[in-house]
Amino acid sequence: MLKQLKQDLTMAEIARLPGGARVDLLVVAEMVERGARVLDVGCGDGELLRLLAETRNVDGRGIELSREGVNEGVAKGLAVIQGDADTDLADYPDDAFDYVILSQTLQATRQPRLVLEHMLRIGRHAIVSFPNFGHWKIRLQVGIAGHMPQTDNLPYSWWDTPNIHFCTIRDFRHLCDVAGARIEKAVALNAWGRALRFNAPWWFWNLIGEQAVFLLSRQGGSAD
């Protein structure tokens, strides 16, 4: 079974890079209106910003913690700053952006709730993508094998992981309630990063979605 899992993961890695862009980034990009003002929090080397600029013609900005990622992004001509999602979102004025994106970064923030609240404050929409800790493979690794999970999306050992706030899809929906976010759209992705496009109840997504992407807006806000 372990062998099969490893094979799956290798396959997933190959499937992740058709034409250079990660499939999960394409799902995020699809949610963004053309020409929008976008802030990508935890933008890495700027791959999503570049994709958004090329395919959606957005006015994009990025924040990234790692100096290498920032310098690479700036050298590509992207508007990226070195900063921390936990501390630096407070500087931005209300409604500064159409979309604030947190791609695969939520689980590495110290205060996910505060980060999400700031995102909803400074953007008309928030888009959050995260690895689903409720996925069956993870449940098997913890529940049956009895060790902390390691997968393609979560390759770290427990002692050196930057990910300190894992959640499941169910947990994230709870956070949305607490933080005052309205869920406009939610997509679960399979191990290959592709959207699972069929109707199913939440508990099912929570079991088979390896990642999830949520499009949110402020509750009571006039989003559209």
Contacts to other proteins by CB under 8 A:
59, 61, 67, 70-71, 73-83, 88, 91-93, 96
**Least distance from C-beta 34 to other proteins, angstroms?**
17
**How far, in Å, CA of 122 to CA of 48, rounded?**
19
Pair 48, 28: CB distance under 8 Å: yes
End-to-end CA distance of the chain: 47
Nearer Cβ to other proteins, position 95 or 177? 95
Nearer Cβ to other proteins, position 42 or 209? 42
Nearer Cβ to other proteins, position 37 or 165? 37
Q: Enter the DSSP assignment of 46.
A: S
Nearer Cβ to other proteins, position 75 or 178? 75
**Least distance from C-beta 92 to other proteins, angstroms?**
5
Pair 218, 180: CB distance under 8 Å: yes
Pair 63, 85: CB distance under 8 Å: yes
For 170, counting Cβ atoms within 10 Å of its Cβ (0-12 exposed, 13-18 middle, 19+ buried), the class is middle
**How far, in Å, CA of 49 to CA of 25, rounded?**
10
**Least distance from C-beta 60 to other proteins, angstroms?**
9
CA dihedral 190, 191, 192, 194 (to 10 degrees): 10
In 3-state terms, what secondary structure has residue 89?
helix
Nearer Cβ to other proteins, position 76 or 139? 76
**Least distance from C-beta 197 to other proteins, angstroms?**
36
**Least distance from C-beta 131 to other proteins, angstroms?**
28
Nearer Cβ to other proteins, position 71 or 161? 71
**Least distance from C-beta 67 to other proteins, angstroms?**
6
